Structure 1
């Protein structure tokens, strides 16, 4: 917790170029339930930077929560899914990781939800204003999030929000509407009956403000003005949101070098940017205290679990260990922490590694050179830190492998030829010349490694495309892959057992 005098100026897009955030005690006066006085609407254009009291923990956790949402949206957008499935995936995921309720919701702390949402957005502006690529990706994903909220918002609250923005759209009067009735009707693909045409209201805006509608030939254009029907109003709103956010990010980038940032904030902002560049938000995987997040695994079980439930990165390490009876330091660390998260206790880990090194290594050498590191990774030596398994983002961005190393991510660090050979040998469900393999390699070419890995999971586990690990969640952690794979196997076995028990009961009857 910081002292009350600690203050930090963060750039904004308002007339005042600084967003002041005091890192001290939590803001008081936030009640549970009822409409929010500070944030009257669920929707937000984030035009006015807040001056709020927050802790450093909130600074980071609120941004990570939003980053997780934006990364999930970007993952969905690269998986060639129908829009309805993408929208459903965004809605489900946001309800879990960043809920934002309408004013009609009951027993919900609206102030707290909207405070969390706004702080997360403004912190991420600092991280993603630094390059044109980051700005473009941030605008794209934030616009998709806003669109999802706009479409799922309460209709009356949404209308009130739009009125508060006071857009300078010109309303088409009845005489002008009658003059261009034929042209306007041709734009109404949803119906051209007289009652539908009469009920529809129209706006005039410069044609360049609705490029998506112009490109799709969905609007009538005359004298540089596009005639937009009320039913396509969302295009106007999204264009306004995206253009304003883009300009705000450019202004933030100009002011960023002048910041007198607290040295504790710099690493947080850098980490957020690197997480987004790797295509992944911070993983929310938390192994259970002790042996792991699922049922315990013994040294004897590892080979069977590896054959059925290891993700590509860990299967590669395990096969190399079986073949060479050795792994270099970062390979041992990556696989060892994964096995720890999988549920392999310390005593079984020592048995496993000793067995894998084989008879070519003496017990004395193993105890002197390797046993200590195993105990250290379990928090039993050194500073006794309980090291967690490495996430996909850590594997992709840290300790890059050399030519003689075997750690890392196969989708990023293998050549296309080696990756294809490895996947075909490791996962028989894949076909070299099939459309699914081409889809995986196309994702790799565009650096969407998590999308490729998620697609492999779907194919090898007979999961519908777009479902991922469940609820359209992409792979963001090797242990999440294995945990979900083992859960699915358990569900199948329990189903078989229930069927057998039911058959026995019918025989007895």
Structure 2
């Protein structure tokens, strides 16, 4: 499925059949806008594509799971999911969009899905979360399709085994069908004998049975045409469940492959804190053209996420941080907006360790600060830690200050800390139950995102996250978005004064 060399051997397209639309695009390897992912990719895939396709899809699925955690309405979830698909190259155009690279975009979608299968098949909990997110993505795409002909052709290709109810059967059970109709549209069409019905085993539509929206006869559910989406969703979920179990059985064969196991390990942790993008390396050169040591206190007070605010406050209180705290905070400052230059970083840390002699600071701390900037040792350009790295690596002990407060603080301590940090920015005790509920369910980045919304209520509404529905996945993302919003507010205020 993968290789280090860039080569691909596309399979020949199948012969076209059906209406003119399919014949027009019979050259496509992926003839349909939607996919049940029944067949895995068989061409060679580079390791880079292996990872990038999966990361793009994981960012979309992660935002879907965040939407569930935040109780967003279905309309909000659809809007956010479609926007995330567009942002991360997973928008699937209709087959009539002949100017688009249809095979290319559908191939990325196909590859990303199967890579994530490998990552999320390894436990029952991961499989459950993956199926729920994938099911939701499929439903969003299915409901967003506007080309009825293409949708029908896709359904025909699935061979779902449903049986059309005959005219004779419709007449015989007409009264029962009218009684079972719940929606006004289905009721009126059924009364007029214009609605089409399909017979399927009742076990395939448990949700419709639970809602009493179908007629049952001899173990078969009679599903109106306008309710067949339920069959599609149930079939998608059933097939994906079975496929993940089969993948889990085959996965041990990959244990000896040191190239992809680390990638899969990293992907499987993606639901915990989302997947950070460019923020990990943002402005890591640290030219210092914007942030200076004297500005840090003000930025911390107004723009820091809880993890960095805690480190900053502890540093100011104790005039010291232990190793992992200095590492987490130092790399954050290095990448903060346009970066804290090495000269400003040394000045900041020297002033912060004010109860220490110069000789001790130079001997024990100066080297490590320069090392984090790639100026000592192996001279690596270290990136700032993402939420995922902070949550999962270097777990803090009782006397440490690093880590994520939402995960590593006791509930009582977390509530007190949040009020201390953000009460001046609008957070109240009335906001805490909602935040603590998401923390209890393990959605730590969702809790952080909600705090951002509350403290930036003049710029974003509930559900908008840091903008466009996006959740916090990196501390530097948090502070950058916060400062951008402050700058826009200042421009508006100036325009009002000038006006």
Question: Of residues 425, 428, 433 in structure 2, which corresponds to 1:431?
Answer: 428
Report if the CA contact (8 A) 1:100-1:110 is conserved: yes
Give the Cα separation in 2 of the matches to 1:460 and 1:108. Answer: 41
- The answer to whether the aligner puts 1:173 opposite 2:166 as a matched pair is yes
CA shift for structure 1 position 24: 2.2
Corresponding position of 1:381 = 376
Report if the CA contact (8 A) 1:392-1:478 is conserved: yes
Corresponding position of 1:258 = 253
Corresponding position of 2:462 = 465
Equivalent positions of 1:227-238 (< 5 A) are 227-238=222-233
- The answer to whether the aligner puts 1:333 opposite 2:327 as a matched pair is yes
Corresponding position of 1:271 = 266
Give the Cα separation in 1 of the matches to 2:210 and 2:54. Answer: 35
Question: Of residues 25, 29, 32 in structure 1, which corresponds to 2:6?
Answer: 25
Judged with a 3 Å threshold, the aligned counterparts in structure 2 of structure 1 residues 29 and 249 are, in CA distance, closer, same or farther, namely closer
Give the Cα separation in 2 of the matches to 1:199 and 1:455. Answer: 49
Corresponding position of 2:482 = 485
Deviations 1:142-175 (A, max 9, x none): 1111111111223322211111111101212223
- The answer to whether the aligner puts 1:354 opposite 2:359 as a matched pair is no
**In structure 2, the residue corresponding to 1:38 is in which secondary structure?**
coil
Corresponding position of 1:141 = 133
Corresponding position of 2:50 = 59
Give the Cα separation in 2 of the matches to 1:196 and 1:290. Answer: 71
**In structure 1, the residue corresponding to 2:365 is in which secondary structure?**
helix
Corresponding position of 1:49 = 40
CA shift for structure 1 position 279: 4.2
Corresponding position of 1:89 = 80
- Please identify, of 67-76 and 283-292, the stretch whose mean Cα deviation from structure 2 is larger: 283-292
Judged with a 3 Å threshold, the aligned counterparts in structure 2 of structure 1 residues 104 and 289 are, in CA distance, closer, same or farther, namely farther
Report if the CA contact (8 A) 1:291-1:341 is conserved: yes
- The answer to whether the aligner puts 1:163 opposite 2:144 as a matched pair is no
- Please identify, of 195-204 and 169-178, the stretch whose mean Cα deviation from structure 2 is larger: 195-204
Corresponding position of 1:320 = 314
* TM-score calculated relative to the size of structure 2: 0.91
Corresponding position of 2:290 = 296
**In structure 2, the residue corresponding to 1:52 is in which secondary structure?**
coil
CA shift for structure 1 position 498: 1.1
CA shift for structure 1 position 425: 0.9
Question: Of residues 124, 128, 134 in structure 2, which corresponds to 1:132?
Answer: 124
Report if the CA contact (8 A) 1:42-1:102 is conserved: yes
Judged with a 3 Å threshold, the aligned counterparts in structure 2 of structure 1 residues 473 and 144 are, in CA distance, closer, same or farther, namely same
Question: Of residues 91, 95, 98 in structure 2, which corresponds to 1:99?
Answer: 91
5+ residue gaps, structure 1, are: 1-19, 503-509
Give the Cα separation in 1 of the matches to 2:273 and 2:304. Answer: 21
Judged with a 3 Å threshold, the aligned counterparts in structure 2 of structure 1 residues 29 and 242 are, in CA distance, closer, same or farther, namely closer
Give the Cα separation in 2 of the matches to 1:339 and 1:169. Answer: 60
Question: Of residues 69, 82, 86 in structure 1, which corresponds to 2:60?
Answer: 69
Q: Number of aligned pairs?
A: 476
**In structure 1, the residue corresponding to 2:269 is in which secondary structure?**
helix
Give the Cα separation in 2 of the matches to 1:295 and 1:176. Answer: 78
**In structure 2, the residue corresponding to 1:198 is in which secondary structure?**
coil
Corresponding position of 1:364 = 359
Report if the CA contact (8 A) 2:120-2:130 is conserved: yes
Give the Cα separation in 1 of the matches to 2:452 and 2:25. Answer: 43
Give the Cα separation in 1 of the matches to 2:75 and 2:233. Answer: 18
Give the Cα separation in 1 of the matches to 2:196 and 2:329. Answer: 62
Deviations 1:418-454 (A, max 9, x none): 001001111112222x2x3111101111111111111
Report if the CA contact (8 A) 1:36-1:111 is conserved: no
CA shift for structure 1 position 289: 5.2
CA shift for structure 1 position 200: 2.2
**In structure 1, the residue corresponding to 2:200 is in which secondary structure?**
strand
**In structure 2, the residue corresponding to 1:381 is in which secondary structure?**
coil
Report if the CA contact (8 A) 1:21-1:51 is conserved: no
Equivalent positions of 1:201-216 (< 5 A) are 201-216=196-211
Deviations 1:196-248 (A, max 9, x none): 85332111212221122222222222332222111121111011011001001
Deviations 1:297-335 (A, max 9, x none): 111111111111000111111111110001111111111
Report if the CA contact (8 A) 2:3-2:47 is conserved: no
Deviations 1:86-131 (A, max 9, x none): 0100000001102322212243212221221111111111111111
Report if the CA contact (8 A) 1:22-1:52 is conserved: no
Corresponding position of 1:4 = none
Give the Cα separation in 2 of the matches to 1:352 and 1:279. Answer: 30
Question: Of residues 100, 117, 120 in structure 1, which corresponds to 2:112?
Answer: 120
Name the Cα RMSD after superposition.
2.0
Give the Cα separation in 2 of the matches to 1:34 and 1:445. Answer: 50
